Amino acid sequence: MTHALFLLLLLLSGSLGGEILRLDPKSVYELALKNNKEIQKLEHQIKALEVDQQLAQRYYLPVVYAGASLLYDLDKRETRTNTNITVVSLLYEFQKVRTRSELSRIRKEVAQIMLRQLHLDLQLRIVKLFTEAHLYRKLAEVKREEMAIAYVRFDRARERKELGLSTDHEVYRLESLYREKRRELLHAQQMYNHALLETKQLAGLPYETLIELSELNFREPSVEFTLLKDSALRENSSLKIKELEIKSYEEDIMAVKQVLKPRVNLRLSTNGSGVEVSIPVYDASRHYRLEYLTSLKNSLQAEKEGIRRSVELIFFSAPYEWEYLKASLAEALAKDRFAEENLTLRRSEYELELAFDLGYAMAEKTEAERRLMEARYKLLLFWAKLFSLAGREPFTLLE
């Protein structure tokens, strides 16, 4: 086998396979919505909370009690039985009815916010998986070319040694370099396949399915960081959930503060009917419960402030990170242009004794393309994370 033929086979290796399922981010997202267990769990929780909210608003639903007693009269030496059926319906319970209804509404709203954030996290996860897969695939291409060059040099050294023109030292050195490049290639292929497997897991596809991921076309948004920060402080899921949790404690505190909390029941019984009114006049635990609930509320307020400060920090530092990523992209573009020009020059000078120079130029060009891809994808992930924090869909960044 000639060196050129072996090089061609190495570069083409891994490109063969059966029927391939081609996926884009939206198709993976749609499949994930049908198969993601966390989303299914939250959807079931929301349904349960909807029923709980309806129940809280129907506090008046009656409860039916049936009772029976067996009594023995010692004087008359006879046994008497007594049966009764009682229907009790809560007509009103001051403050508790409104509090329970409001707490049920808050729990439902929290679950809906969590579901919304899970959708955003899912989109962000898909974008990350696509970028990882493409970058590792490109890295495998780079390492395949480097390995091919290293093998040809190693193989020629072995031939020269047989002719007495080289030494074991040179052969072993070039073999170790070849083995290193082969290991790096296998690692890149392993990481690429791992990204594909995670994508299949997310989409609920059989692991045996052959898939190919579409390219990510991305255009930077024309949005000011200040406006995006303001949007995040309004729409960030963690902040909204903490605000609702604080409201729930405020409702509990309001209920405990009410000293007179009359409870009105309608009782219908075979032994007598009427309206019952009960009013608690003293509760020794009230002070302790107020202190307990107030401390929990203050803890949540401090936690919310910490989250708000963390969100602000991300957006205040974002312009500096953005400038760095733009500079990295400009550098990658410049190096890619040089690599293209260098490859054109090496091709024009190509002769048999310059084959290694051409191979190196090809590998350098592929590596420049990978770095350019990486710089673009880092910008995409930068904006996708900011959009997710601000409650916006990362998919809106994709063309």
Q: Which helix (H) or strand (E) holds 87?
A: strand 78-93
Kindly state whether residue 247 falls inside one of the protein's structural domains: yes
Amino acid at 63: V
Name which of 68-72, 84-88, 155-159 the model is least confident about.
68-72
* Highest mean predicted confidence (pLDDT) among 54-68, 102-116, 226-240, 258-272: 226-240
The count of domains in the chain is: 1
Residue 94 has pLDDT above 70, yes or no: no
Instruction: Tokens for 109, please give them.
Output: 């709203």
Coil vs helix vs strand at 178: helix
Task: Flag whether 305 is in a domain.
Answer: yes
Give me 222's structure tokens: 């024309």
- 117 contacts: CB under 8 Å, gap ≥ 6: 237
Q: Rounded to whole angstroms, how far apart are CA atoms 95 and 97?
A: 6
pLDDT bracket for residue 357 (50, 70, 90): low
pLDDT value of residue 6? 45
Question: Which residue type sits at 40?
Answer: Q
Closest Cα partner for 196 from 188, 10, 368? 188
- The CATH number linked to 24 is 1.20.1600.10
**pLDDT tens, residue by residue, 16-26:** 456 889 999 99
* pLDDT tens, position by position, 30-54: 999 888 777 788 788 888 877 877 7
DSSP string, 180-246: HHHHHHHHHHHHHHHHHHHHHHHHT--TT--EEEPP--B------HHHHHHHHHHH-HHHHHHHHHH
Q: What is the pTM of this model?
A: 0.80
Integer angstrom CA distances of residue 255 from 100, 110, 191, 280: 10, 21, 56, 13
- Helix, strand, coil percentages in the chain from 3-state DSSP, rounded to 5: 70, 10, 20
Could you list the residue range(s) of the whole structural domain that residue 291 is in?
3-8+19-397
- Dihedral of alpha carbons 374, 348, 14, 190, sign: negative
| Residue 61 pLDDT | 64
Q: Is residue 285 part of a domain?
A: yes
- Which comes out higher in pLDDT, residue 102 or 389? 389
> Is 14 part of any domain?
no
pLDDT at position 16 = 47
Is 155 domain-assigned?
yes
Residue 21 pLDDT = 92
Whether 13 maps to a domain, the answer reads no
Is the per-residue pLDDT at 2 higher than 90? no
Instruction: Provide long-range contacts, Cβ within 8 A and 24+ apart, for 367-372.
Output: 367/142, 367/339, 368/332, 368/335, 368/336, 368/338, 368/339, 368/340, 369/138, 369/336, 369/339, 370/135, 370/138, 370/139, 370/141, 370/142, 371/332, 371/335, 371/336, 372/329, 372/332, 372/333, 372/335, 372/336
Q: How many CB atoms lie within 10 A of CB 259?
A: 11
Mean pLDDT of the chain: 85
The verdict on residue 368 lying in a domain is yes
Provide the pLDDT for residue 10.
Answer: 47
pLDDT above 60: residue 96 = yes
Mean pLDDT of 257-276: 72
Measured CA to CA, the distance from residue 217 to residue 399 in angstroms comes to 5
Q: How confident is the model at residue 192 (pLDDT cuts 50, 70, 90)?
A: very high
Cα radius of gyration (the chain): 35
pLDDT confidence tier of residue 285, bands split at 50, 70 and 90: confident
pLDDT for residue 243 is more than 80: yes
Specify the 3-state DSSP secondary structure of 284: coil
Please report the pLDDT score of residue 81 as a whole number: 74
